[in-house]
A and B are shown apart, each in its own frame.
Chain A
Amino acid sequence: MAATEEIRLSSDALLKANKPKRPANMGQFLRWGLLFLGGIVMIMPIVYMISTSLKWPHEVYNLKLIPDEPHLENYTFVLEDGRFYWWFVNSIIIALITTLCNVIFDSLVGYTLCKFRFPGRYIVFIAILSTLMIPTEMLVIPWYLMSQQFGWLDTYWGIMFPGLMTAFGTFLMKQFFETVPDDFIEAARIDGLNELQIWWTVAMPLVKPALAALAIFVFLGNWTAFIWPLIVTNSVEMYTLPVGLSSFGDEADVAWELIMTGAAISTIPTLIVFLIFQRFIIRGVVMAGLKG
């Protein structure tokens, strides 16, 4: 028994000795180095945001990462300020409704353009795509005039209406619906479902990864939107978080420590959204890889 063990051990040692050692690879070192640098560049603003939120006002322009006297007074101040709750709630309502509308409308239009054959289908698709080439700055004035005419200024509807449906979302969903085999749709048609039921029951569950990606993009886009909410809102109660946070301070000075505190708190919902939906995105990537 002992002899057998010895032989096995010596053969293991031999295998290890014969195993060629991988030489230090310069390319790999460079790759890891670049990735590390990239990681630092990405993480530093977040670290500084949290660091600044723990500083007193006189320390803000001191670039030290660890404050001399770290404290949570800024968090107490921001959370006790009633306005912050309003902005937070406004942002949540706007981001959620806009995300929901995009998920429904973009996928409805994308599905229609992908799975139905009707005259002018291609022209409609190109027309929707071509709106991607118009910069938001050009649209702000027409949007404002429309809002004014309809009486939407300083309302949720006014903030939300330009983003309830997006050309990008439509394009994304159309491309994903292309991957849903027509057989599924036709089988459901034969099984007696109407077109809306087919879209909801059969097609939508099959494009969950795309829906998750779209939901993340739209939620983040609306959560961080600044220019349009700033223009369309007048009263402090209607501000969204980014607009509200920018109003911290006065004409003489900007209260960076409070802005950073508000920003740190406002990243929490985005993290939650990402954590909820990321598994769908990862699964989507895996599915795309496995497809034969």
Chain B
Amino acid sequence: MANLAIRDLVKTYDKVEVLHGINLEVQDGEFVVFVGPSGCGKSTTLRLIAGLEEVTSGDIEIGGRVVNNLEPKHRNIAMVFQNYAIYPHMTVRKNIGFGLRSSSAPKAEKDARIDQVADLLGMTDLLSRKPDQLSGGQRQRVAIGRAMVRDPAVFLFDEPLSNLDAQLRTQMRLEIKKLHQRVGSTIIFVTHDQVEAMTMADRIVIMKDGYIQQVGTPAEVYHNPANTFVAQFIGAPAMNMIEGEVKENGSIQLSSGGQIDADLPAKPGQRITLGVRPEDLTADTSAPFLEGSVAVREPLGHETLIYVKTNAGEFIAKADGRHPPDVGATVRLGALQENLHIFDAETGGALV
């Protein structure tokens, strides 16, 4: 186990800069998830940490040692790939033990280690099988086993669950989380799925266009998003956004015509974007600021999501699961002031 530090990391491909000097500190034993849309640089960062790509400038430190110029095998890391990368011509035992090939430990010791890892992953009965005799989840476990067997300082996971079906993904998510709690290793996990990020991470790193947008615990990035991108990327359905302007008395005049009393650190006349999550926007309010008609209902059982058409666009709100408003009905929506997110309209940065 070890801590990891990334300092001013830049990566360019043929003069195109894809990472623009990112900085990050990961503590020993921490589970950090990199999340972001395709092309945001999360996988590139992971490959740079692994040593599969050369750093253009900046430093990567693992366990206090700069590893920029070290071969992957000398970085004391292990990686689980999206396509598992388990060798089809080898049995599960050989696949798991593959990482120990270069170890000078006696064979009996290596075998004991393989058995220990197989036992931990519940794969003891499968050791003599070949990958084509395994299910998707079992293959994924073999890949994890191969990473674990060397007891590396840092585990790197590159979208390891994206090839699994929804049910198996949920199961594997839980297993990886439990595994982390058991072995306590430092884990860097890359995904584009914000649900995976929220459910697994100690801290989430949200990336976009080669920049880190925000680093924080799942609760922090959800409740206090640093900007409109994070606000809309985290949470499903995405956060509702509406333009507005700060008035002389400090209140906000929304483009829908509604008004909100707020005490903002903003100048009168400043353009703002108001964000409110669908689960916080409800018709059950004493201070509505939006009015429109229900266009679509999505019953989820315990609650119903309603899509409300207003003069400022369509908004998603939460309604009662048993007695939601009818399609076509007019509703007036509002939210508690503590659940409102206010961003600068120009920069997108959070004001509150």
The answer to whether A and B come from one shared complex is yes
Asked, given contacts A189-B72, A190-B73, whether A181 binds B83 with beta carbons under 8 Å apart, the answer is yes
CB-based contact A191/B101 at 8 Å: yes
* Chain B residues whose CB sits within 8 angstroms of the CB of A206 once the complex forms: 87-89
A193 to B85, CA, bound (A): 15
Q: Is B82 part of the contact surface with A, judged by Cβ < 8 Å?
A: yes
Partner among B77, B82, B102 whose Cβ is within 8 Å of the Cβ of A183: B82
Per-residue CB proximity of B17-48 to A under 8 Å, as 1/0?
A: 00000000000000000000000000000000
Q: Is B226 part of the contact surface with A, judged by Cβ < 8 Å?
A: no
Q: Is A187 part of the contact surface with B, judged by Cβ < 8 Å?
A: yes
Asked, given contacts A181-B83, A190-B78, A191-B102, whether A205 binds B89 with beta carbons under 8 Å apart, the answer is yes
* Chain A residues whose CB sits within 8 angstroms of the CB of B71 once the complex forms: 189
* Chain B residues whose CB sits within 8 angstroms of the CB of A183 once the complex forms: 81-85
Q: Is B239 part of the contact surface with A, judged by Cβ < 8 Å?
A: no
A192 to B147, CA, bound (A): 12
Q: In chain B, residues 74-112, which have Cβ atoms closer than 8 Å to a Cβ of chain A?
A: 77-79, 81-85, 87-89, 98-99, 101-102
Q: Is A202 part of the contact surface with B, judged by Cβ < 8 Å?
A: yes
Asked, given contacts A202-B87, A205-B89, A206-B88, whether A193 binds B81 with beta carbons under 8 Å apart, the answer is no
Q: Is A59 part of the contact surface with B, judged by Cβ < 8 Å?
A: no
CB-based contact A187/B73 at 8 Å: no
Q: Is B52 part of the contact surface with A, judged by Cβ < 8 Å?
A: yes
Q: Is A68 part of the contact surface with B, judged by Cβ < 8 Å?
A: no
Instruction: Give the A-B pair count, Cβ closer than 8 A.
Output: 52
Q: In chain A, residues 157-202, which have Cβ atoms closer than 8 Å to a Cβ of chain B?
A: 181, 183-184, 186-193, 202
CB-based contact B85/A184 at 8 Å: yes
The residue of chain B having its C-beta at the shortest distance from the C-beta of A204 within the complex is B89
Q: How far is the CB of B80 from chain A (nearest CB, A)?
A: 9
How many interface residues does chain A have, given as a range?
A: 10 to 19
Chain B interface residue count, Cβ-Cβ cutoff 8 angstroms: 23
* Chain A residues whose CB sits within 8 angstroms of the CB of B203 once the complex forms: none
Q: How far is the CB of B143 from chain A (nearest CB, A)?
A: 8
Asked, given contacts A202-B87, A205-B89, whether A189 binds B73 with beta carbons under 8 Å apart, the answer is yes
CB-based contact B146/A191 at 8 Å: yes
Q: Is B212 part of the contact surface with A, judged by Cβ < 8 Å?
A: no
CB-based contact A190/B82 at 8 Å: no
Q: How far is the CB of A206 from chain B (nearest CB, A)?
A: 7
Q: How far is the CB of B148 from chain A (nearest CB, A)?
A: 12
A184 to B77, CA, bound (A): 16
* Chain A residues whose CB sits within 8 angstroms of the CB of B72 once the complex forms: 186, 189-190
CB-based contact A187/B88 at 8 Å: no
The residue of chain A having its C-beta at the shortest distance from the C-beta of B80 within the complex is A187
Q: How far is the CB of B304 from chain A (nearest CB, A)?
A: 39
A191 to B98, CA, bound (A): 7
Asked, given contacts A189-B73, A191-B146, whether A184 binds B101 with beta carbons under 8 Å apart, the answer is no
A290 to B290, CA, bound (A): 55
CB-based contact B87/A190 at 8 Å: no
Asked, given contacts A181-B85, A183-B83, A202-B87, whether A190 binds B102 with beta carbons under 8 Å apart, the answer is no
CB-based contact A190/B79 at 8 Å: yes
The residue of chain B having its C-beta at the shortest distance from the C-beta of A208 within the complex is B89
A133 to B51, CA, bound (A): 41
Q: How far is the CB of A90 from chain B (nearest CB, A)?
A: 35
Known: A190-B50, A191-B146, A206-B89. 7 other contacts (CB 8 A): A187-B79, A190-B78, A191-B101, A192-B101, A193-B102, A205-B89, A206-B88
- B-side interface residues toward A, CB under 8 Å? 50-52, 71-73, 77-79, 81-85, 87-89, 98-99, 101-102, 146, 150
5 closest residue pairs by CB, A with B:
A192-B102, A192-B73, A183-B85, A187-B85, A205-B89
**A–B Cβ pairs within 8 angstroms, 22 of them:** A183-B85, A184-B85, A184-B87, A186-B79, A186-B81, A186-B85, A187-B79, A187-B85, A187-B146, A189-B72, A189-B73, A190-B51, A190-B52, A190-B72, A190-B73, A190-B77, A191-B101, A192-B73, A192-B102, A193-B73, A193-B102, A205-B89
